[in-house]
Structure 1
């Protein structure tokens, strides 16, 4: 029987790979689950695409503001336990764009898909707070379109971010995948950079496809991390 707590205690460097399931306990809907953010859309890839932002910035802005911002969300026990562990000996590579890992106290976070609260003008590069973006997506001074610094469908991941993520994964002797179906690439492909002999485990409500020899902990991540 695999003991996650013992594995974390024994590890010299722990890297967590996290997805939307980590933030659901904080009141942020899962991206793809039934009743989640995308459940009312025929094509989520279209709503959050670079093409939609370019051609229909008003519709893009309206959807993002209504569906994606949860500024009152608080970190939960998963964020807090991950912060405590990785601040001592590890890192977090996350698909999440909500900033809750940092709010939970984590110091070593690689945001693979960016951050919703990083707002900038595409014309001049000036940064704005998210409250400004909630009201309007046009920079009054130059007419530039504001956008959040998240990776949209059709856009590449920042090479520096990819490099940092690979470094965090290849350094770990314990990799723990939490709250993700692990089907979104290139994020899921990062597991290929694990070093030989590294222990791989996953915590998720449903079993996910993992490399041979990995350990699957099926259950609610809040319950699992509450016991760590």
Structure 2
């Protein structure tokens, strides 16, 4: 692994613009569970994730939806870990980050170039009057205290489209980069996994993950991202 980390460091040093593509595996070291592992938030759920986290459930069963996200997805005391911090450091110099994560830890780490592909949990608003709602108020009730409307987090639910501006920003970042680093994601969720199609033909691709990802031309480091990013300068 040491040799591969050295090669990754060389590619980072030589790159002009780096883009990180990240998923839940980055935030597990901050105490936030992933989705589909044996300890993930989807393990043992009473209904399919596609049903629970859908716009239909949000509007038809707001209390059920609210209980699930509050119990399983909100970790307001979580702090960025060294992976977030190292990526933020690199992005401040010459990079950008596109994340599937909805926990805002990349922004909290001081990363100035974050695209939240699936939105974030703390962009909370009323679906009736569109007014923003604080986390504290949402934690207390799924209904807006001003108008009684259903309150929701600004994350992309099953059955909803990715925001077009987010897609455009993500594609532009891919087209501008000469090095792509995939981290903490199985890279099977679309359209996120489709982003690789927009990379430059000569862009180098690395994946730092506990499992192999199914994509061509990827230099893989199979291991714990915390160890890998801790070894980078």
Normalising by the smaller structure, the TM-score range is over 0.9
Q: Deviation of residue 165 (structure 1)? A: 0.6
1:19 aligns with 2:4: no
Candidates 207, 223, 231, aligned match of 1:219:
223
1:195 aligns with 2:195: no
Normalising by structure 2, we get a TM-score of 0.96
The 2-side partners of 1:134 and 1:64 are apart by 10
1:142 aligns with 2:156: no
The 2-side partners of 1:172 and 1:122 are apart by 37
Q: Deviation of residue 91 (structure 1)? A: 0.2
2:59–2:150 Cα contact (<8 Å) kept: no
Corresponding residue pairs, total: 227
Q: Residue 153 of structure 2: SS of its match in structure 1?
A: strand
Tell me the equivalent position of 1:117: 122
Q: Deviation of residue 140 (structure 1)? A: 2.2
Q: Deviation of residue 19 (structure 1)? A: 0.1
The 1-side partners of 2:184 and 2:87 are apart by 13
Q: Deviation of residue 102 (structure 1)? A: 0.6
Candidates 11, 14, 19, aligned match of 1:10:
14
Q: Deviation of residue 100 (structure 1)? A: 0.2
Q: Bigger shift: 138-147 or 159-168? A: 138-147
Q: Deviation of residue 13 (structure 1)? A: 0.3
The 2-side partners of 1:49 and 1:141 are apart by 25
2:125–2:154 Cα contact (<8 Å) kept: yes
Tell me the equivalent position of 1:32: 36
The 1-side partners of 2:23 and 2:118 are apart by 11
The 2-side partners of 1:12 and 1:19 are apart by 23
1:180 aligns with 2:182: no
**Which runs of 5 or more structure 2 residues have no equivalent in the other structure?**
none
The 2-side partners of 1:30 and 1:224 are apart by 19
1:82 aligns with 2:87: yes
**Which runs of 5 or more structure 1 residues have no equivalent in the other structure?**
none
Q: Deviation of residue 117 (structure 1)? A: 0.5
